[in-house]
Structure 1
Amino acid sequence: MPQSISADLKRKARMAALQSLFAADVKDNLEESCLDWLTEEDSLSEETATFAEALFKGVAGNRPGLDDITQRYAPAWPVDQLALVDRNILRIALFELLHNPDTPEKTAINEAVELAKAFGSESSARFVNGVLGSVMTGLETGELVAGIPAPEGG
C-alpha cells in the first residue's frame, strides 16, 4: 500500500474509498467499476487515487472477515442493519488496523472518527470510536490477532 503521501492526501483517499465503498454497497456490487471515477476526478492526485484504490480493494477482499469482527465487537448492531456510511467507515478502519501495519493504530481510529463526523449521523462518531476501541482491546489482549479472532479459550 502506498505510504509516501501526506496525511492530508491519505485523508482524501479515505474519503474517496468511503464514497466508492458506499456506491458499491448501494449497487450491491463490489466490482472495480466503482473506482472508475477516481481517475476522472481532477482533485485527486495519482498517489491519492492509488491509496484509495488500495483501501477499496483491501476492504473488498476482506469484507466478510471485517464484518465478522464488527459483529463480534458490536453484537447489539447486526452489520447488515448498520448505516452504510458507518459500516464502510468501520471496514476501512479495521482493514487499516489489521492489514496495514504502516498506518499507526491511533491514526486509523482518529481518521475513522473524523469520517464519521463528516459523513455519518449525530451518533456515528461515538459509535465508530466505541467499536474500534473494543477492537483495540481485543488486539491488546490477544483475543484478536492479525484480523482473525483467536480460538475460544486460547
Structure 2
Amino acid sequence: MKQRTKARSVALQVLYECDLTQHTPGQALEQRLAEEHLEPELAEFSRQIVFGVYPIVDKLDRYIAQHAPEWPLDQISVIDRNILRIALWEFAVAGCTPVKVAINEAIELAKTFGSDSTPRFVNGVLGSLANRLDEIRQQFQREKAQEEGLSPRTT
C-alpha cells in the first residue's frame, strides 16, 4: 500500500470508528497512529483528513445524498460513506488532491475495505460529484463565509 494511501486508510478507520462508537476523533486517531507508526508527515495528513471531514460530515453527506439518489444515505454502508466523505473533502473542500487522484485513492480504499460492489459505487458517486465540482466548491465557500460571519462576495 502506498504511503499516502496508508495515511488515508488510517483516517478512514478513525472516521468509521467515530461513526459506530462514542469515541472522539482525537482518541481514535491517537490510538490508530500508535498502532500504525506512520512517518510524521503522513500522520499529519491523516490528522488533516480526520479533522477536516469530521466537523462537516452533515454537509458532505448532503452532497453525497444528492448524487446517490437511488441509495438513501442511511442505506449506504458506514465504510462506503466515509470513503466518499474523504474523497469529497480532499478535492472539493480542502483542494489538496486533484480530482482524479482522490477518486483513484477512494477506489483503492473501496477495494480494500468495501464490498465487491463498493469500487463501482464509489467511482460513480464521485464522478457525479466531480462533474459539479465548481458548484460544490462555491457552495462550501459560501457556507464557510456565512459561518464566519462574513458576507459572501458577489462577482
In structure 1, what is the equivalent of residue 105 of structure 2? Answer: 111
Displacement of 1:52 after TM fit? 0.5
In structure 1, what is the equivalent of residue 136 of structure 2? Answer: 144
TM-score scaled to structure 2, two decimals? 0.83
Q: Relative to 1, partners in 2 of residues 1:39 and 1:31: Cα closer, same or farther, differing over 3 Å? A: closer
Displacement of 1:8 after TM fit? 2.7
Q: Relative to 1, partners in 2 of residues 1:147 and 1:15: Cα closer, same or farther, differing over 3 Å? A: farther
Displacement of 1:95 after TM fit? 0.3
Segments of 4+ moved more than 6 angstroms: none
The amino acid that maps onto 1:44 is L
Displacement of 1:94 after TM fit? 0.5
Displacement of 1:19 after TM fit? 0.6
Give the length in aligned residue pairs: 142
Instruction: Select between 61-70 and 20-29 the one with higher mean Cα deviation.
Output: 20-29
In structure 2, what is the equivalent of residue 90 of structure 1? Answer: 84
Q: Relative to 1, partners in 2 of residues 1:41 and 1:132: Cα closer, same or farther, differing over 3 Å? A: same
In structure 1, how many angstroms separate the alpha carbons of the residues matched to 2:124 and 2:33?
A: 34
Q: Which runs of 5+ in 1 are unaligned?
A: 1-6
In the TM superposition, what whole-angstrom CA distance separates every residue of 1:61-111 from its partner, at most 9, and x where no partner exists? 211110000000001111122111101000000000112223111000000
Q: Which runs of 5+ in 2 are unaligned?
A: 143-155
Identity %: 43
Displacement of 1:38 after TM fit? 3.5
What is the RMSD of the two structures over their aligned residues, measured on CA atoms?
2.1
